[in-house]
Structure 1
Amino acid sequence: MSIQSAPPSVAPSRQSRQELLVELAAEFAETAAEHDRSGIFPVANLDRLRQAGLVGLTVPVAYGGAEAGLSDVVEVLGTIARGDPSTALVLAMTYLIHAHYGRSGEWPEEAYAPVARSTVEEGAMVNGLRVEPDLGTPARGGIPATTGRWTGDGWELTGHKIYSTGAPVLRWMLVWGATDPASDPVGDAASQEQPESSQEQPKSREPRVGTFLVPADAPGIEIIRTWDHFGMRATESHDVVFNRVRLDAGAGIALTPVSTLKDPAAAGSNIASWNGLAISAIYLGVAEAARDWLISFLHERVPSNLGKPLASLPRFQAAVGEIDVTLTTIRMLVETTAREVDAGKAVLASSGSAVKSVVTNAAINVVGQAVALIGNPGLTRANPLERHYRNVLCGRVHTPQDDAIHAAAGRALLAR
């Protein structure tokens, strides 16, 4: 079935989408090894996703998107990840941004509307840039060194971000930063309003922390190509440096005084669940691709001393069966939890994180089993299983990480 260049704002029906996804995954798989070796993001994949009406999946209907739920998101990401997980991860970042900010009301209309419409109409990618060289991940607390200085009619942003997923293909960067207290004019310490002039209101005594909406083509932005990773190589998660980037007055969004910041672990359950399940779906997709390749290999491999495929041997049948039972179980876990979130059931933030921990570790284990089962061919770069193994190991490094998940769960239980 060929993919028509339908209006990008029109998402396909569920049945036709499933067919599209399978075809797209197969197409993306054809170039995945090439992009893994080069470390260059497969830009053509994004255009195919836009043509298929999939980029604006979580953008609100008011802006031309599909306003899809989490069940649809995990289906799309999991299937695309079977073909190329780097594409799926960059797409996931855009999905999560719109799923949260498009429905939370945290952004002023004049700030969010251009981002939403450009995603739907042009396939514009957006991601949050939060991790810094000195601080590390903000999920464990801390104040960003990236600073926005008020200039009287706007902001001047200076800072350095690392692990910026999809940096070269982003249209919008949501940069986590702090205001410069010496120049930041606010009337009330708890005020979220942007001032019209630095001369009109008194200076704040503490920085405010929030998001700066930055067009990726703004002067003063430099992408430093530092990403040379073991796995997920084509995500191009490079460093991004902001050197006195000029932004308009409305670019500072949800700026909150440091003294009133919430504990990072107390993030809303809804967005935490979306994040945990989106990441789970991607690495589940990688493990399923590894299983599929293993099955093909066992059918095709006919040792001369055996005279029949390895797939005919009970040992391999049992091993593949064990792998598939695990994958079926964790897929049910992801899909069931996603349906609960969509149904508005009370899903704790810790639940989404727990699913992420269980699924990513199970995915790593089953791909490791596949490698061990066939020996050297599993680690041969000419075979996709080697790439799947490197990619699936990256599931452990996404926030929240296992130690934080386990510690939070233990604290909650022991506090009863």
Structure 2
Amino acid sequence: MKQIFIKTDTQREWLQKLNEVGAEFSSRSAHIDEQSKFPMENIDTLVDLGYTSLTLPKAYGGKGIGIYDMVLFQETIASFDSATGLSIGWHMGVTGELYEKKLWDDSKLSFFAEEALKGALINRAVSEAQTGSPTRGGRPGTLAVKKDGNWEISGRKTFTTMSPALTYFLTSAWIEEKKAIGFFLLHKDLEGLAIEETWDVISMRGTESHDLVLDRVTVDESMLVEINDGPRGNNINGWILHIPACYLGIAQAARDYALRFALEYSPNSIQGTISELPNVQRLLGEIDLELVRSRHFIYSVAEAYDDEQRRPYIANELGAVKHTITNCAISIVDKAMRIVGAKSLQRQNPLQRHYRDVRAGLHNPPMDDVTIQKLAQTAIQKGTN
């Protein structure tokens, strides 16, 4: 189903590389989920392949892949293992955004490029228990205070995806003297920085999205890499499409399992397999319809974002893609479970894992209510023009 979206030799080359390790990734998924264990072996494989440096621009030693490429690759990885897909997606997305928007000065970008080429991994640490999702505008409770020419940072971050593997935490903190939110690049080995193992959820268990605890972590001025002191115009970020790409990959995995089951399962109450039953064919057809619709939507928006002439016209499409695909993925897994029946609820059955994992998409930004509200507000502001 995905073949028509492959456009370049680079895409074919990387899809082949990813498919070669796909069975290995898939074989670990049940254990990763059952033990709530981070897929370190999978991440190490991706680092060794050079995958994690693909979103670095060519000028910085990377391959300079775009959003479209990333979506294609991330969907594939997530179809093998959801925790691996979501985890590495954050690194790919954060890195892509940093260099596309030049969020840091060139010396800092050059420094991090060298680190990434050596295998360093990064994610933003922004969520906090008291503020909720940072996309809703809450001020961080984490504070950065200037002391003796350095910054001293204290606070706690939640939902720090990929915490066991991260080399750098791009951490938000409130700077009172600047009346602004600053982002500090914190290395994992800094004194006062610790990971508290709090991740105890039923979805995406292997991401180990634990709490990041900062107890008077001290860094020099150079590690204050971003300042957010107010609205920044059209601040769309196409790299967040790694999120719906992940859930699209999970939906594809659920579909493939249900199809194999339908082709093989033959109860003695019927002739042939259940794939010949009208109700099963209806569910399979509805699943593929949702996959086709979702896939064309995400790849068309990714392609538009990669086109610098079309990008300025993108408004709510990114949120709409995430909303659509997340909800379609939930529906697809539900239909797959209806095909398989009660067996889908067995702990050793991958569908129950897919069922739990796709629910996590509802809580990744942007939230459904925000997306719908923005669509409505845009319609009202523009009227019938």
Name the stretch that deviates more: 299-308 or 76-85: 299-308
Task: Check if 1:149 corresponds to 2:121.
Answer: no
The equivalent residue for 1:414 is 380
| Post-superposition CA distance 1:30-88 (Å, at most 9, x none) | 10110001111110111211222211111121221111001110011000000111111
**Secondary structure at the counterpart of residue 50 of structure 1:** helix
CA contact (8 A) 1:158 1:242 kept: yes
C-alpha contact 1:25 1:81 (8 A) present in aligned 2: no
Deviation of residue 89 (structure 1)?
Answer: 1.1
Name which one, 1 or 2, has greater alpha-carbon Rg. 1
The one of 83, 102, 105 equivalent to 1:105 is: 102
- The offset of 1:321, in angstroms, is 1.5
Question: Counterparts of 1:394 and 1:92 in 2: how far apart (Å)?
Answer: 15
CA contact (8 A) 2:36 2:205 kept: yes
| CA distance in 2: counterparts of 1:137 and 1:24, whole angstroms | 34
Q: 1:294 aligns with which of 258, 266, 284?
A: 258
Q: Which moved more, 1:327-336 or 1:107-116?
A: 107-116
Q: Say if 1:111 and 1:152 are closer, same or farther in 2 by CA, change over 3 A.
A: farther
Could you tell me how far apart the structure 2 residues matched to 1:166 and 1:243 are?
20
Aligned to 1:208: 180
Specify every segment of 5 or more residues in structure 2 that has no aligned partner in the other structure, as ranges: 1-8
The question of whether the paired residues in 1 share the 8 Å contact of 2:258 and 2:339 is answered with: no
Secondary structure of 1:25's match?
Answer: helix
Moved over 3 A (4+): none
Deviations 1:221-269 (A, max 9, x none): 1211111111111000011110001111111123244xxx128xx6612
Answer yes or no: is 1:217 the counterpart of 2:186: no
Q: Which residue of 1 aligns with 2:350?
A: 384
Name the residue aligned to 1:335.
299
What TM-score do the two structures reach when normalised by structure 2? 0.93
The Cα shift of 1:208 comes to 2.5
Which residue does the alignment assign to 1:191? none
Aligned to 2:168: 172
- Give the distance between the partners of 1:133 and 1:245, measured in 2 at CA: 20
User: How far, CA to CA, are the matches of 1:16 and 1:58 in structure 2?
Assistant: 16
Deviations 1:295-339 (A, max 9, x none): 111122111222422122232122212211110121111111111
Aligned pair partner of 1:253 in 225, 230, 233? 225
Of 17, 35, 39 in structure 2, the residue corresponding to residue 38 of structure 1 is 35
Give, in whole Å, the separation in 2 of the partners of 1:342 and 1:359: 20
Partners of 1:41 and 1:166 within 8 A in 2: yes
Structure 1 CA distance for aligned equivalents of residues 60 and 259 of structure 2: 43
Corresponding residue number in structure 1 for 2:278: 314
Q: Which residue of 1 aligns with 2:231?
A: 262
The match for 2:24 is: 27
Structure 2 Cα separation of the partners of residues 156 and 394 of structure 1: 34
Q: Which residue of 2 aligns with 1:366?
A: 332
Range that drifts further, 302-311 or 381-390 = 302-311
Q: 3-state DSSP class of the match of 1:244?
A: strand
- Given the alignment of the two structures, is residue 93 of structure 1 paired with residue 60 of structure 2, yes or no? no
- Is the CA contact (8 Å cut-off) linking 1:211 and 1:254 kept in structure 2? yes
Gap runs ≥5 in structure 1: 1-11, 182-205
Given the alignment, which residue of 48, 52, 55 partners 1:55? 52
User: Which of the pair is proportionally richer in helix?
Assistant: 2
Number of residues of Structure 1 aligned to a counterpart in Structure 2:
372
Give the conservation status (yes or no) of the 8 Å contact 2:184–2:226: no
Q: Does 1:238 align with 2:234?
A: no
**In 1, Cα distance between equivalents of 2:86 and 2:284:** 27
Using the TM superposition, give the Cα deviation of residue 180 of structure 1 relative to its aligned residue in structure 2, in angstroms. 4.0
- The equivalent residue for 2:322 is 356
| SS at structure 2 position matched to 1:226 | coil
CA shift, 1:363, in A, is 1.1
Contact 2:266 2:274 in 1 (8 A): yes
Query: What is the Cα-based RMSD across aligned positions, in Å?
Result: 1.6
Amino acid at match of 1:274: W
What amino acid is aligned across from residue 331 of structure 1 in structure 2? R
Amino acid at match of 1:116: A
Q: Is the 8 A contact 1:150 1:180 kept in 2?
A: no
- Asked if structure 2 preserves the Cα contact closer than 8 Å seen for 1:210 and 1:254, the reply is yes
Deviations 1:108-165 (A, max 9, x none): 233232322222222x210000011111112111211111111233211111100111
Partners of 1:208 and 1:71 in 2: CA distance: 33
